Amino acid sequence: MGTKAEEKKTTELKDSEPKQIGHGTFIVDVKYRENATWQGKVIWAEKNKEQYFRSALELLKMMEDALDDANKDVSE
């Protein structure tokens, strides 16, 4: 049996495991590279939705949210 610190660390690792978020096709159009990041637009091919982003982090978050929404639609 492990200590409480070891048990907490194990729980934290389980919580941070990658989650399955499905798959999708995104077309990324980088218009500018400023402030050490990208700005442009992304098109979600399956839904034909277009959205502009101001940073690479924002782009990744948009893509993750889109796939999360798609998974909710499938599971309902």
Pick the residue with more confidence: 72 or 16? 72
Render pLDDT for 27-66 as a digit per residue (tens, 0 to 9). Answer: 999 999 988 899 999 999 999 999 999 999 999 999 999 9
- Domains of the chain, by residue range, sit at 19-75
Q: Which segments of the chain are extended strands (E)?
A: 26-34, 37-44, 49-53
Question: Residue 58: its pLDDT value, please?
Answer: 97
Render pLDDT for 2-26 as a digit per residue (tens, 0 to 9). Answer: 566 665 555 555 555 566 656 889 9
The yes-or-no verdict on residue 1 having pLDDT over 60 is no
Q: What tokens appear for 19 in the block? A: 């989650």
